[in-house]
C-alpha cells in the first residue's frame, strides 16, 4: 500500500461489505481501522475481502510495529543488489560506448551486451519484487496502483534490451533499467523512512510502555510479571528510575514523576500518597507503592495513542481532494503513455524511441507526490503538537484551527487551573457538609471536587448519593423522602434566586430538604501563563473573550488578572451557544476553549474547539483538540502549527502540480529518458515529505490574523 489509489480501493471494498459502518486507512502506518457490526460480518471476512483485491492482511497484534523495520531492511538489501549490479553494468556500458567511437567489433560488443544481461536480469528480478508483487496483486484485484506503471516501465525496458541484445543492436538499456530500479528503491526507502519519522508519535508513545511490573502480594512477597497482565487493584512497586507500568494511585512513597510525554510539561511533578500517576511516565528519585487503576489498553497513554491514530486516519478537505485526484490518476497515466507511443509511431520515429518515450511517461507520472502531499503534513503537525501537550482529534479540526480569528475562554478549569480551594473549610457544619459532599461526589465540576476534597481532609467519610441529577450550568439536585436537596449556583439553590454577594470568589450553595442553607466560597488560581498567553494572542490580532457561567465579580477579577477586556459572566449553556452563534453571524471564526458539561454545546458550535484534559468526558468528546498539562501557552503553538501546516499542504500541492506540468511534456517529447524519469519521480516524493518534516522543527512566530 503506497498511494492514494490503494487507500481508496481498500476503503471502498470494505465499506461495501454488509455491517461495515466505516473504514479509514492510515497510509503511514499501513493500517486500516474498521467499525463494523459483529452480527453481520467478522475480521475473517474483512481480511478475505482485502486479500481479494491484492492486499494480504492480518489483525493487528502488539509487537507488529517491528514490521516497519523489517520492511526497511528488505528495501536496503534489494537496494544494495540493484546498486551493485547497476555499477557493474554501467562499466560494461562505458566500454561499449567507448568502443562505438573506435574499432570494437560487433562480436565483442555483443559479448558485453550478453554479460550485461547476465548481471542485469537476475538483479532486476530480485530488486524489482516489491514493485512487481504490488502490481500483480493490484491487477489480480481488478484495479491499478502506482506500481503498475513502474513495473510496466521496468519490464518493457528490460524486454526491449534483451531483444536488442539478441538482434545485435548497438544500444541496450540494461543500465537504465537497473539504475531506474536503484533510484526507485532509494526513493521508496527514503520515503518510507521519512513517513515513519513524520508519523512516529503514536508508535513512540506505545514504545514507552513498561515491559514488566513488580506486583506486591498480600503476604508481602513480590513477583515480576508482564505489564500487560496487570489488573486494576494490583499493588505495584515502582523503583526509582523505572517507567510506571499502569495508571495508578500512590499509596506510599515520595518522588517526582517526569510526565512530559503525557502533559508536555518539562518539569517533573512531585507525587506523594494519594497522587495519580500514569503509565509510561518515569519515576524519579524515590520508590513508590501504588494501586493500579487502569492497565494495558485502558491507560491514559493508550488513549492518547488512539487519539493520535484516529487523527491520522481522518480526512481533511485537502486529503479528500488528493484522494479524488489519485483515484483517476492511474488510468490517466496509462492512457497518456499509450497516446505518447501512438504519436511517436504516427510521426514515423520508429518503435524503439516511441517505446522509450512511453516508458518515461509511465515512470514519471506516478502519483506519489500528490498522494503524500497532505498526509505527510498532517502527521508531522500531529506529532509536533503532541510533544507540546496538545492532542488533535481530527484533521478537519487542524484545518479549522488555521482559520480562527477569535479565541473564547471559559474561566474555571480553563483560564484557571480548575483546582479551587474551599475558603475556611473548618467553619462549616459537618452534617451539612457531609450531605453536600455526597452530592458533589457524583460530579466532575471543579467546585464539586474541591468540596469533596475539603470534606475528606476534615475526616468526613464521603459516600456518593444516589439518584443525583446534574443540570448543566445550574447544579445538582436529588429528591428524597423528605424533599428536594440542591447544590449549585446561588440562583439555583436559593428560592429567591439571589446571587450570594459580590466578593470576587465563587460560591456553591447547598439547600437541604428541610430548607436549611450552607454557603461554600472558593478561590481559584489562574494558570501562571494565562496573562502572557492572552497578551500574545491579542498582539497577533486575535479577539480574546472570557465567557463564563460564574458570578460577575469572580469573572471580572479573572479577566482583570489575565488582561481580557471582552467579558460575559453568569451565562448559562444556552447563552454561551447563543453568543457563539452571534459571533459566527458577525463573520468571526471562533476557537472555543472550555472544560465543563455546560461548555459542551458551545464547544460543538465553535468553528474549532479545545478542552483541557481535566475537563468532562462530554467536553472532550465535543472538542477538536485536548490540552494536556497546566499551561495555556500550547494554545499559541497549536494556532501557529495549524496555520503552518496549511501553508505546507498548499506548498506540497504546488510541488506535485509543478512537477507534473514540467516533466510530463518533457517525457512525452522524448527529452526525459527512463533513468531521468526515475530520478525525478523519486525526488518529487522525497521533496514533499521532507517539506512536511520541516514542520517538526520549524521555528514559528504567531501568525497575524488575516
Residue 441 DSSP class: T
Nearest to 390 by CA among 636, 613, 626, 695: 626
- Specify whether the CB–CB gap between 315 and 395 falls below 8 A: yes
DSSP string, 2-16: -SHHHHHHHHHHHHT
* Selection from 608, 662, 666, 635 nearest residue 395 by Cα: 608
Which among 412, 446, 413, 411 has a CA at the least distance from the CA of 567? 411
- What is the sign of the dihedral through the CA atoms of 548, 554, 555 and 561? negative
CA atoms within 13 A on the CB side of 677: 32
- Residue 559, C-alpha cell as written in the block: 479577566
Query: Residue 34: phi, psi to the nearest 5?
Result: -120, 130
- Pair 437, 451: CB distance under 8 Å: yes
Helix or strand holding residue 121 (H, E): helix 106-127
DSSP 148-202: HHHHHHHHHHHHHHHHHHHTT-S---HHHHHHHHHHHHHHHHHHHHHHHHHHTHH
Nearest to 623 by CA among 594, 598, 650, 647: 594
**Beta pairing class for 590-593 and 406-409:** parallel
Q: What's the rounded Cα separation, in Å, for the pair 191 and 199?
A: 12
User: Active site residue: 396, 410, 595, 624, which one?
Assistant: 410
> What is residue 569's three-state secondary structure?
coil
CA angle (58 as vertex; 53, 61 as ends), nearest 5: 155
Q: Which residues contact 654 (CB under 8 A, 6 or more apart)?
A: none
The CA-to-CA distance between both ends of the chain, in Å, stands at 39
The answer to whether 323 is a known catalytic residue is: no
Cα–Cα–Cα angle for 431, 432, 438, rounded to 5 degrees:
90
Q: Is 290 helix (H, G, I), strand (E, B) or coil?
A: strand
CB 21, CB 35: distance < 8 Å: yes
Tell which phi-psi region holds residue 171, choosing left (phi > 0), alpha (psi between -120 and 50) or beta.
beta
Looking at the annotation, which residues are catalytic? Answer: 410
Amino acid at each position: 500500500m503506497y498511494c492514494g489509489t490503494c487507500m481508496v480501493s481498500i476503503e471502498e471494498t470494505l465499506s461495501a461489505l454488509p455491517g461495515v459502518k466505516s473504514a479509514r486507512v492510515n497510509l503511514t502506518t499501513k493500517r486500516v481501522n474498521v467499525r463494523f457490526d459483529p452480527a453481520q460480518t467478522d475480521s475473517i471476512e474483512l481480511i478475505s475481502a482485502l486479500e481479494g483485491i491484492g492486499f494480504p492482511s492480518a489483525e493487528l497484534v502488539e509487537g507488529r510495529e517491528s514490521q516497519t523495520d523489517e520492511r526497511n531492511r528488505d528495501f536496503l538489501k534489494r537496494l544494495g543488489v540493484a546498486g551493485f549490479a547497476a555499477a557493474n553494468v554501467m562499466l560494461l556500458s562505458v566500454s561499449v560506448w567507448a568502443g562505438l567511437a573506435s574499432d570494437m567489433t560487433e562480436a565483442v560488443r555483443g559479448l558485453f551486451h550478453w554479460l550485461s544481461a547476465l548481471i542485469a536480469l537476475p538483479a532486476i528480478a530480485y530488486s524489482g519484487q516489491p514493485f512487481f508483487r504490488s502490481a500483480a496483486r493490484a491487477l489480480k484485484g481488478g484495479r491499478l496502483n502506482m506500481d503498475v506503471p513502474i513495473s510496466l516501465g521496468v519490464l518493457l525496458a528490460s524486454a526491449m534490451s534483451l531483444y536488442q541484445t539478441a538482434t545485435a543492436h548497438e544500444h541496450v538499456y540494461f543500465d537504465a533499467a537497473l539504475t531506474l530500479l536503484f533510484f526507485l528503491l532509494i526513493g521508496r526507502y527514503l520515503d518510507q523512512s521519512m513517513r515513519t519519522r513524520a508519523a512516529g508519535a503514536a508508535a513512540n508513545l506505545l514504545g514507552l510502555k513498561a515491559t514488566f511490573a513488580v506486583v506486591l502480594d498480600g503476604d508481602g512477597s513480590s513477583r515480576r510479571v508482564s505489564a500487560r497482565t496487570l489488573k486494576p487493584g494490583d499493588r505495584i512497586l515502582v523503583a526509582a528510575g523505572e517507567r510506571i507500568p499502569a495508571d495508578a494511585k500512590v499509596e506510599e512513597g515520595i518522588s517526582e514523576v517526569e510526565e512530559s510525554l503525557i502533559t508536555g510539561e518539562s518539569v517533573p511533578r512531585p507525587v506523594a500518597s494519594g497522587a495519580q500517576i500514569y503509565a509510561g511516565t518515569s519515576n524519579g528519585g524515590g520508590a513508590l507503592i501504588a494501586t493500579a487503576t487502569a492497565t494495558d489498553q485502558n491507560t491514559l497513554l493508550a488513549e492518547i495513542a488512539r487519539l493520535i491514530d484516529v487523527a491520522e486516519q481522518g480526512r481533511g478537505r485537502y486529503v479528500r481532494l488528493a484522494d479524488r485526484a489519485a483515484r483517476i490518476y492511474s488510468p490517466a497515466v496509462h492512457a497518456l503513455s499509450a497516446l505518447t507511443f501512438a504519436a511517436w509511431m504516427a510521426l514515423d520515429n520508429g518503435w524503439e524511441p516511441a517505446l522509450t518515450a512511453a516508458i518515461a511517461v509511465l515512470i514519471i507520472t506516478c502519483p506519489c507526490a500528490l498522494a503524500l502531499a497532505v498526509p505527510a503534513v498532517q502527521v508531522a503537525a500531529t506529532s509536533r503538537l503532541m510533544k507540546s501537550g496538545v492532542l488533535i482529534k481530527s484533521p478537519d479540526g487542524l484545518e479549522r484551527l488555521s482559520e480562527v480569528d477569535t479565541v473564547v475562554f471559559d474561566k474555571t478549569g480553563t483560564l484557571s487551573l480548575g483546582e479551587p480551594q474551599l475558603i475556611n473549610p473548618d467553619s462549616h457544619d459537618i452534617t451539612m457538609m457531609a450531605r453536600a459532599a455526597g452530592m458533589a461526589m457524583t460530579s466532575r465540576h471543579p467546585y464539586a471536587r474541591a468540596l469533596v476534597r475539603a470534606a475528606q481532609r476534615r475526616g468526613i467519610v464521603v459516600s456518593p448519593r444516589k439518584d443525583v441529577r446534574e443540570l448543566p450550568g445550574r447544579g445538582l439536585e436529588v429528591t428524597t423522602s423528605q424533599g428536594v436537596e440542591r447544590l449549585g449556583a446561588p440562583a439555583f439553590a436559593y428560592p429567591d434566586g439571589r446571587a450570594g454577594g459580590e466578593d470576587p470568589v465563587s460560591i456553591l450553595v447547598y439547600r437541604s430538604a428541610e430548607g436549611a442553607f450552607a454557603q461554600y466560597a472558593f478561590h481559584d488560581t489562574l494558570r501562571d501563563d494565562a496573562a502572557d498567553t492572552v497578551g500574545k494572542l491579542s498582539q497577533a490580532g486575535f479577539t480574546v473573550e472570557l465567557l463564563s457561567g460564574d458570578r460577575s465579580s469572580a469573572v471580572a477579577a479573572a479577566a482583570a488578572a489575565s488582561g481580557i477586556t471582552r467579558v460575559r459572566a453568569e451565562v448559562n449553556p444556552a447563552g454561551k451557544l447563543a453568543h457563539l452563534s452571534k459571533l459566527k453571524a458577525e463573520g468571526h471564526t471562533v476557537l472555543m476553549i472550555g472544560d465543563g458539561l455546560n461548555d459542551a454545546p458551545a464547544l460543538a458550535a465553535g468553528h474549532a474547539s479545545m478542552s483541557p484534559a481535566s475537563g468532562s468526558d462530554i467536553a472532550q468528546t465535543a472538542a477538536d483538540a485536548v490540552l494536556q498539562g497546566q499551561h495555556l501557552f500550547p494554545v499559541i503553538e497549536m494556532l501557529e502549527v495549524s496555520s503552518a501546516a496549511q501553508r505546507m499542504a498548499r506548498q506540497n500541492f504546488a510541488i506535485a502540480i509543478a512537477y507534473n506540468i514540467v516533466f510530463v511534456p518533457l517525457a512525452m517529447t522524448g527529452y526525459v529518458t527512463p533513468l531521468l524519469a526515475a530520478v525525478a519521480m523519486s525526488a518529487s516524493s522525497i521533496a514533499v515529505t521532507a517539506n512536511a518534516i520541516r514542520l517538526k522543527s520549524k521555528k514559528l512566530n504567531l501568525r497575524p490574523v488575516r
